[in-house]
Structure 1
Amino acid sequence: MNIGFIGFGNMAKTIANGLINEEVTQKERVFFSTRTKESRQKTEKEWGITGVESNQAVIDSADVIILAMKPHQFDEVLQPLTIPKEKLVISVAAGVTSTKLEEHLSKNQYFRVMPNLNAQVQASMTAIVENKEVDSRQKEVVETLFSAIGEVVFIPEEQLSVFIALAGSSPAIVFLMIDTLARSAVKYGMSKDTATKIAAQAVLGSGKTVHESATSPWDLIDQVSSPGGITVEAILNLMQSGFSGSLIQAVDKMVEKDNKLSNN
Structure 2
Amino acid sequence: MSKLFFLGAGKMATAIAGGLVKAGTFQADELLAFDVNPKAAEAFQNATGIRCVTADCKAAAAGAETVLLAVKPQMLADAAAPLRSAGNRLFLSIVAGVSIDRLTELTGSERIVRIMPNTPMLVGRGAAGFSAGPKANEEDIALTERILASVGIAFRVDEKYMDAVTALSGSGPAYVFEFIQALADGGVSEGLPRDMATQLAAQTVLGAAEMVLKTGTHPTVLKDQVTSPAGTTARALEVMYRNGFAATVIDAMHACARRSEELGKK
Superposed pair shares fold, TM > 0.5: yes
Structure 2 unaligned spans of 5+? none
Separation (CA, whole Å) in 2 of partners of 1:160 and 1:187: 39
Unaligned runs of 5+ in 1: none
Distance in 2 separating the partners of 1:178 and 1:214: 23
| Contact kept in structure 1, 2:34 and 2:52, CA below 8 Å | yes
Secondary structure of 2:25's aligned partner: coil
Q: State the partner residue of 1:170.
A: 172
Give how far 1:132 is off: 3.7
- Provide the alpha-carbon RMSD of the alignment: 2.0
Distance in 2 between the 1:245 and 1:51 partners?
45
**Of 110, 113, 125, the match for 2:112:** 110
Q: Does 2:12 match 1:18?
A: no
**CA distance, structure 2, for counterparts of residue 245 and residue 132 of structure 1:** 36
- Contact 1:58–1:65, Cα closer than 8 Å, also in 2: no
Q: Is the 8 A contact 1:6 1:58 kept in 2?
A: no
Q: Partner amino acid for 1:200?
A: A
1:30-73, Cα deviation, whole Å (9 max, x unpaired): 11112156764675466432234422233324222111122222
Superposed counterparts of 1:36-185, under 5 Å: 40=41, 43-44=44-45, 47-52=48-53, 53-81=55-83, 82-85=85-88, 87-103=89-105, 104-107=107-110, 109-185=111-187
Q: Which residue of 2 aligns with 1:241?
A: 243
Greater shift, 74-83 or 152-161, is seen at 74-83
Q: TM-score scaled to structure 1, two decimals?
A: 0.91
- Runs of 4+ aligned residues of structure 1 deviating over 3 Å after TM superposition are 36-48
**2:132, 2:97 → 1: CA distance?**
16
Identity percentage over the alignment?
29
Distance in 1, matches of 2:235 and 2:252, equals 24
**Retained in 2: the 8 A contact 1:3–1:30?**
yes
* Normalised TM-score (structure 2): 0.90
Q: Cα 1:202–1:39, aligned 2, differ >3 Å: closer, same or farther?
A: closer
Aligned-partner Cα distance in 2 for 1:38–1:116: 23
Equivalent residues, number: 262
Quote how far apart the aligned CAs of 1:227 are.
Answer: 2.2
**Per-residue CA shift, 1:66-91, capped at 9, x if unaligned?**
11122222222223332222x32111
Q: Distance in 1 between matches of 2:46 and 2:12?
A: 19
Who is 2:34 aligned against?
33
Residue identity opposite 1:11 in structure 2: M
* Rounded Cα–Cα distance in structure 1 between residues aligned with 2:198 and 2:38: 41
2:229 counterpart SS class: coil
Is the Cα–Cα contact under 8 Å of residues 5 and 66 in structure 2 kept in the other structure? yes
Residue 221 of structure 2 aligns with which residue?
219
